[in-house]
Amino acid sequence: MTAPLHEAHPAGPGRALPDTQQGMRRRNLARVMHAVSAQGPLSRAAVASRIGLTRAAVSTLVDELIRSGLLEELGPERPGRRVGRPGSALAVSGHGPAGIGAEVGVDHLAVCAVDLRGEVRARAVRYGANRGRPPEPVIEELAGLVRRVVAEAERAGLWPAGLAVAVPGLVARDARTVVRAPNLDWHDTDLGALLPVEYPLTVGNEANFGALAELWLGDGTPRDFLHVSAEIGIGAAVVVDGALLRGTRGFAGELGHVPVRPDGPKCPCGGRGCLEQYAGEEAVLRAAGLEPGEDRVGLLAGRAAEGDEDVRGALHDAGTALGIALTGAVNLLDPESVVLGGALAGLAPWLLPSLEAELDRRTAGPACPVAVSRLGSEGPLLGAAHSVVRAVLDDPAAVAERA
């Protein structure tokens, strides 16, 4: 549901850059960065053999990346690892550009800085309900956290290559405008105007950033999967061949409003019997006879763990509804797996049995496997920061020009 930085930097290794000598150079710079990032430290010779270019060509590219501060030399290799004449091992720089990720949650704000190596180098969180607050003060507070995190990152020798903001709502394809965030009560809010920064800004749906985090940081996540998460609403994101399916307006992934029981209760979206009416946090709390408070998932997980039969029953029914909606989604998309992330990850022990039973009995062949994210509610924030880092790896030349 977002246009992540990949659109602002239209590269991706070997993708959209123009088919010219200059474009080829930029794509090859990206290949070197990706090789060192994925498999480094590597000697120049090892990079050359991995990406299929001559050593001389790779040396020119590497020199350029070292000059712009994206790669660094670790000094001569240890003798034991030497192949051919002694070479210096290359690593992705821990002092160059950093990706700044931010999250506007219903109950918190968070910001972090991630370096090109993927390490979180600075972080700030502020708890407090944002529901019903107008965008201006919320974004002002977020901007304060961003300034703090950027200052800390700068003290560590990093500089911000971009800021990506995850929001719980639909974001237009301009990657700036929050079209609708029902759980914040924001409509047509241009975050670009509210959050002026001197580096590229991308606004995206939190479920999408959560899915990207799973793709990039998850353990053995396939390149085709459906990511289902929840804060108050149900969010989902579709990843196809390692890329987000975003939809014409940027709204793809609205699993929460898939009709589960077409004559069921009315939903604020205008429909009836939508998944959110059965498996949204508030619906589950209601079904369990609990009041919605601040730590809704914690409350549900705690009670379920204690053996509260009402809570367990409510989660069982939510799992059934998720299974029905996912049957439709799996039939349409044929993903390699379904990943439960965000708040749903914490509730998985009580959702999964009925969810999987439902998927199973409605599927002719072997049912699609359901995995549980280990990133949980950290996903959207990490996905946002890493989307900036990936954009740098995908088109290092663009960043070098700004360095």
Q: In whole angstroms, what is the distance from residue 91 CA to residue 95 CA?
A: 11
Distance (Å, whole) CA 292 – CA 145: 28
Smallest gap from Cβ 263 to its own copies, in A, equals 8
Distance CA 110, CA 125 (A): 4
* Least distance from its own copies to the Cβ atom of residue 138, Å: 23
Query: At its nearest, how many Å lie between its own copies and the CB of residue 340?
Result: 17
The CB-of-28 to its own copies minimum distance in angstroms stands at: 7
- For its own copies, the binding residues in 344-373 under the rule CB under 8 A are 361-364
Rounded to an integer, what is the distance from CA 62 to the centroid of its chain? 29
**């909606």: which residue's tokens?**
325
Contact stretch for its own copies (CB under 8 A) within 94-102, 121-129, 248-256, 286-294: 248-256
Using CB under 8 A, pick the residue from 6, 9, 27, 312 that binds its own copies: 27
Residue 324: name the closest of 366, 281, 363, 350 by CA: 363
Write down the least CB distance from residue 276 to its own copies, Å. Answer: 11
249-288 mask for its own copies (x: CB under 8 A)? xxxxxxx-xxxxxx------xxxx----------------
Site for its own copies in 179-238 (CB under 8 A): 180, 222, 224, 236, 238
Q: Rank residues 145 and 226 by Cβ distance to its own copies and give the closer one.
A: 226
Determine whether 199 is exposed, middle or buried from the number of CB atoms within 10 Å of its CB (0-12, 13-18, 19+).
middle
Q: Is 336 in the site for its own copies (CB under 8 A)?
A: yes
Q: What string of DSSP letters covers 2-29?
A: ---HHHHS--TTTTSS-SSHHHHHHHHH
| Distance separating alpha carbons of residues 381 and 395, to the nearest angstrom | 22
The DSSP output letter for 106 is: S
| CA triple 19-25-30, angle to 5 deg | 105
- What number of helices (H) and strands (E) belong to the chain? 14, 15
Instruction: Please state the φ and ψ torsions of residue 237, each to the nearest 5 degrees.
Output: -145, 145
174 binds its own copies (CB under 8 A): no
CA distances from 161 to 197, 244, 403 (A): 11, 22, 9
Establish if 333 lies at the interface with its own copies (CB under 8 A).
yes
Count of residues engaged in binding its own copies, rule: CB under 8 A: 47
Nearer to its own copies, 144 or 259 (CB): 259
**Cβ 355 to its own copies, closest distance in Å?**
13
Q: Which is nearer to its own copies, 284 or 329 (CB)?
A: 329
For the CB of residue 253, give the shortest distance to its own copies in the complex, in Å.
7
How near is the Cβ of 84 to its own copies at its closest, in Å? 25
Distance in angstroms (rounded) separating the CA atoms of residues 245 and 4: 11
Residues facing 160 on adjacent strands: 98
Interface with its own copies, residue 317, by CB under 8 A:
no
Would you tell me which residues interact with its own copies (CB under 8 A)?
14, 19, 24, 27-28, 180, 222, 224, 236, 238, 240, 245-255, 257-262, 269-272, 324-325, 327-329, 331-336, 361-364
